[in-house]
Amino acid sequence: MKQLFFALFILPICLAAQSKKPITKSATPDLGHDIQISLKPYQDTKIYLGTNYGNARTLVDSCVLNDKSEGVFTSNQKFTPGIYFVVSPKMSILFDLIVDEKQHFKIVADTLDLKNITITGSNENVLFQNYSKSINELFIQLNDFEQKFKVATTAKDSTNLKEAYTSKDKEIKQKRKSFVEAHPNSMMSFLLNTMEVPEAPSIPIVNGKADSLFPFRYVKNHYWDNVVFNDNRLIRTPFFEKKLDDYFKNYVSREPDSVIEEIQYMLTVAKTGKEIYPFLLFKFTNKYISPEFMGQDKVFLHIYQNFFAKGDTVLLNEASKKSLRDRAYSLMANQLGLPAPILVLNDVNDKRFALHNIKAPFTFVAFWDPTCSHCKVEIPKLDSIYKASWKALDVKVVSVNINFKEITAWKNFIKDHQMEDWLNGYQTEEDLNREIKEGKPTTIRQLYDVYKTPTFYLLDKNKKIIAKNLTIEQFNDFIQSTINKSK
């Protein structure tokens, strides 16, 4: 039995079956759900009904079995159709079942013989059970060929086993195809279509040349055949979100505009789906608000401006709305390719200088705090790379102290680490207060998204942002690569 490892919460609690009283169906058979269950040998104990929410699992109902091992999951609310599972009192998944639009049926099962479960009143579950039994037998045979192939000792045995494996794999795929053709409108066919990934075709020869990208394009173009993104059933499966993650990992360019194009389409189509739309909206928001790859925060900005800013915030409390809004505003002025925001600072002698007046092929801007322990490690590391390589390349470093209350500590750090070659500056408290008084909507922290220290930016000769949110070593590689490309 598969163990459940997830945070559990219970939604509508079902009515407990009263001891020694018969189980009766809901008085309103067309409304809600009413799933009777006999589950031996459990008696006088609570069991649960769970389902998927993307990659996560959650409990959605519970009931207490009487002394005859009988109970009923029931409520006036219908479940979203999909794959569900019965969970034991010890939180182990016992078996899966299908819930479609007809949610009044009966389950008879015994934990000592879970291969023979009887479900009456649900044709979808009959199809599900019959298909599962037949396909599982084929997968057992497929796995057997795979294990024998691993220990094969002769080339002939390996070849024979490989051919047997390929043949069995084709048989499985044909069985899936035949089932969908025979039951095109069934829940099982929906599930098979959702999990299906196109098989890459052979590389064709076009005008005498091999089109090596054709298999990739083919799979990408047919990846979502028979899947409609406003179908709420998608998130009640254990494979949709994984398939979605694989798609963005393997078939979508990391360039922000490519990601935006895909997400815009999916969210636009999903908007009429009551459950799938918020699922996708928050999934993409969480992924790109702090992205894995540089520049993909542009994706979060697009989501905010085209969905949240247009009113798609009904599921958010005021604190969450403010958090998203503040995060978006902190990213608007520092996107890759934009000119760096105006930055006028005072140096260690309180002489003013402006970032945009600096002449250099590259300008590296470091925002840090002399009391920050991480900064005390990273800033000297930056200085080492600067002295070893960047100084000779005429890279200018602008070091910005964001803590005007620690001027003495800042100056001492500069002196102790011999950072006088840099342009060291800070914004005075007077300048900050004047900006606030003048009603300027943004401060240096917000303009440069300095929500952690240190924060680094790399600018080109025109003071456009060309890199950010990298490690110092990655910035060094980026500079070297850019110089080599220009040569």
How far apart CA 112 and CA 270 sit, in angstroms, is 42
What digits encode the pLDDT tens for the residues 303-345?
999 999 888 767 788 899 999 999 999 999 999 999 999 999 9
SS3 state of residue 339: strand
Given this model, what pLDDT does residue 103 score? 96
Q: Is the pTM of this model over 0.75?
A: yes
Task: List b or e across 469-486, with b for residues whose CB sees 16 or more CB atoms inside 10 angstroms.
Answer: beebeebbebbeebeeee
Given this model, what pLDDT does residue 442 score? 64
Rg (CA), the chain: 31
| % of the chain at pLDDT higher than 90 | 76
ω into 454 cis (within 30 of 0): yes
Closest CA to 480 of 417, 380, 395, 413: 395
Strand partners, 35: 73, 105
Q: Long-range CB contacts (< 8 A, 24+ apart) of 336-340? A: 336/294, 336/295, 336/298, 336/465, 336/466, 336/467, 336/468, 337/464, 337/465, 337/466, 338/464, 338/465, 339/462, 339/463, 339/464, 339/465, 340/365, 340/457, 340/459, 340/463, 340/464, 340/465
- For residue 234, CA distances in Å to 170, 239, 243 come to 26, 9, 11
- Pairing type for strands 33-40 and 45-53 reads unpaired
Fold of 344-486: Glutaredoxin (3.40.30)
Confidence of residue 432 (pLDDT cuts 50, 70, 90): confident
User: Contact, 448 vs 370, CB < 8 A?
Assistant: no
Q: Which residue has the higher pLDDT, 440 or 218?
A: 218
SS3 state of residue 189: helix
Place of tokens 């009413």: 34
User: Contact, 467 vs 457, CB < 8 A?
Assistant: yes
How far apart CA 347 and CA 372 sit, in angstroms, is 20
For the chain, first and last CA: distance in Å?
A: 61
Supply the DSSP string of 195-252, one letter for each residue.
Answer: H--PPPPPPPEETTEE-TTHHHHHHHHHTTTT--TT-GGGGGSSSHHHHHHHHHHHTS
Which of the four CATH numbers 3.40.50, 1.10.10, 2.60.40, 2.120.10 does domain 2-123 have?
2.60.40
- The continuous run of DSSP H or E covering 310 comes out as none
459-474 mean pLDDT:
96
Place of tokens 């996107």: 335
Q: Which residue has the higher pLDDT, 316 or 299?
A: 299
**In the predicted model, is pLDDT for residue 18 greater than 80?**
no
- Pairing type for strands 92-99 and 2-3 reads antiparallel
User: Contact, 347 vs 424, CB < 8 A?
Assistant: yes
What digits encode the pLDDT tens for the residues 242-264?
999 999 999 999 999 999 999 99
Given this model, what pLDDT does residue 5 score? 26
How far apart CA 175 and CA 179 sit, in angstroms, is 6
- For residue 353, CA distances in Å to 13, 363, 456, 457 come to 66, 14, 19, 18
Question: What φ, ψ does residue 370 adopt, rounded to 5°?
Answer: -65, -10
How far apart CA 89 and CA 93 sit, in angstroms, is 10
How far apart CA 39 and CA 108 sit, in angstroms, is 6
**In the predicted model, is pLDDT for residue 17 greater than 60?**
no
**In the predicted model, is pLDDT for residue 2 greater than 50?**
no
289-298 mean pLDDT:
94
Confidence of residue 463 (pLDDT cuts 50, 70, 90): very high
* Domain locations in the chain as residue ranges: 2-123, 227-331, 344-486
Q: Reading across the β-sheet that carries 465-468, which strands appear in turn?
A: 352-354, 344-346, 423-426, 395-401, 362-368, 455-459, 465-468
How far apart CA 96 and CA 50 sit, in angstroms, is 9
Beta strands in 76-191, from DSSP E residues, in sequence order = 82-87, 92-99, 104-110, 118-120
**In the predicted model, is pLDDT for residue 183 greater than 60?**
yes
Closest CA to 459 of 377, 373, 413, 400: 400
